[in-house]
Amino acid sequence: MNLFFRKSMIAATGLFLCLFLIVHLSANCILLLPEEMAKEMYNSYSTLLRENPLIKIVAYALYLSIILHVIYALLVTLRNRKAKPDKYAVNHTKENSSWASQNMGLIGVLILLFIVVHLANFWARIKLGMGEGVGVDSYGNKDVYKVTSSLFHNIYYVIFYSLLMIPLGFHLHHGLKSAFKTLGFYHKTGLKFISKAALIYALIVSILFGIIPFIVYFK
Ligand code: HEM
């Protein structure tokens, strides 16, 4: 399998994951509403998504994308390590690339840690029925709001969720720019626009996801 195929897989799955994050963030912005309204809307929206057959197919595509994104990123990182030009007398890596691009490995590991903890907190409990049971609200919907609210009333989880949005922001900014380049987008003015759009996207996603736990904590 050549490098271009692997990088294209990282780019394509990454772009799909970026789209998912927009939908996921919009749903989680419901948590910013006043308590009673947030509870009803969050639980009914969550039920609507879980029970929609089309969304179920998209969810499988999402799980596959996460797995492929991680596997191909690992393969490319290992290959780059092997071919690392330590032997060159002059190494301009620091001047030619950003902090985020040089530390994609570390940032990726932190995000993976976040996703594993996050899926254990929510997905495994709500979808797989693992651990403590999830009750239902007065409309008979699974009380996903209560699961979220009780998690974010633990200050350690609030700090964990909010802090890990920092590497996520760096990853999204660098990843989005790289994805367009990998997929053959070389237009100079277009790339400048993409770079700005990637920065705005990364800031909105990481800041909003980062403040939601605090807002729920202080509600
Ligand atoms: C304030 C922050 C967040 C909250 C409150 C939150 C909440 C949730 C909830 C409640 C679920 C389960 C949905 C259900 O089955 O009904 C879920 C699933 C999920 N979340 Fe989050 N999330 C947050 C941030 C994130 C971030 C930053 C990512 C990715 C980097 C992420 C990735 C996922 C994934 C991949 C799933 C599984 C989706 C599925 O099975 O359909 N979440 N989240």
pLDDT 10s digits, 78-101: 888 888 665 555 555 555 567 777
Residue nearest (by alpha carbon) to ligand 1 atom 39: 59
Which residues are CB-neighbours of 49 under 8 A, at least 6 positions away? 27, 55
- What's the pLDDT score for residue 169? 97
Question: What ranges in the chain are assigned the alpha helix state H?
Answer: 3-28, 35-51, 53-82, 93-96, 99-102, 104-118, 124-126, 144-151, 155-163, 165-182, 188-218
Residue among 31, 118, 127 whose CB has most ligand 1 atoms within 8 A, to mutate: 118
> Which pair of structure tokens corresponds to residue 20?
């998912």
Ligand 1: distance of its center to the CA of 79 in Å? 31
Which residues are CB-neighbours of 9 under 8 A, at least 6 positions away? 68, 69, 72
- What's the pLDDT score for residue 195? 94
> Which pair of structure tokens corresponds to residue 122?
């929510």
CATH of 3-218, one of 3.30.530, 3.30.310, 1.20.1300, 3.40.720: 1.20.1300
Cβ neighbour number for residue 115 with a 10 Å cutoff: 15
CB of 213 shorter than 6 A to ligand 1: yes
Cα–Cα distance for residue pair 205/184, rounded to 1 Å: 25
Ligand 1 atom nearest to CA at 165: 27
pLDDT 10s digits, 103-121: 888 999 999 999 999 999 9
- What's the pLDDT score for residue 193? 93
